[in-house]
């Protein structure tokens, strides 16, 4: 578990839509935070803790990443992606509507320090004779 605790107050300070606890039960928000922290820890615990310890990942940034993951779950439960006016229509994204908790590639890079670039490796060289 990361050495930084994320609370409902951390979510509230980053929420743009008024009082968060007026819109959601406190227990629900706490559970979403716990799920986000558990997901991050399950995948990248050692890297996160190392980056927090060295200061490469600041506690505030860690809290922001966890809050953003929670907000992706609670902000748009219907999964709307677009809305039209004339001849009314709308688009939905099934992944967003599923309520699935996920981290963006940018979140992962900030949490782990890994950019996804390929590491140096080896490859074989040979003569292609045109037949096998």
Does residue 1 sit within a domain?
no
pLDDT (mean) for 89-118? 80
Does residue 126 sit within a domain?
no
pLDDT at residue 118 in the model: 58
Helix, strand or coil, per DSSP, at residue 80: strand
- 11 to each of 8, 41, 75, 85, 105, how far by Cα in Å? 5, 19, 12, 33, 21
Domain that holds residue 74: 8-112
Q: Does the pLDDT value for residue 132 go beyond 60?
A: no
Does residue 103 sit within a domain?
yes
| Number of domains comprising the chain | 1
**Is the C-alpha dihedral spanning 19, 23, 25, 28 positive or negative?**
negative
Does residue 29 sit within a domain?
yes
71 close to 41: Cβ distance less than 8 angstroms: no
pLDDT at residue 5 in the model: 97
Does residue 124 sit within a domain?
no
Does residue 30 sit within a domain?
yes
Burial 10-37 (b: 16+ CB within 10 A, else e): bbeebbeeeebeeeeeeeebeebbeebb
- How many degrees, rounded to 5, is the angle at CA 93 between CA 88 and CA 99? 125
Nearest to 114 by CA among 66, 54, 59, 48: 48
Q: Does the pLDDT value for residue 88 go beyond 90?
A: no
What is the DSSP-derived secondary structure letter of residue 75?
Answer: S
């Amino acid at each position: 578990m990361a050495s930084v605790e994320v609370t409902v107050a951390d979510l509230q300070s980053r929420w743009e839509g008024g009082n968060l606890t007026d819109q959601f039960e406190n227990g629900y928000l706490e559970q979403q935070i716990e799920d986000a922290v558990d997901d991050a820890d399950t995948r990248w615990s050692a890297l996160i803790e190392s980056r927090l310890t060295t200061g490469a990942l600041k506690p505030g940034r860690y809290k922001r990443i966890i809050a953003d993951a929670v907000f992706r779950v609670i902000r748009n439960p219907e999964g709307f992606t677009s809305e039209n006016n004339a001849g009314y229509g709308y688009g939905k994204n099934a992944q967003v509507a599923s309520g699935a908790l996920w981290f963006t590639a940018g979140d992962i890079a900030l949490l782990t320090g890994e950019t996804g670039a390929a590491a140096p490796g080896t490859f074989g060289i040979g003569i292609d004779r045109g037949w096998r």
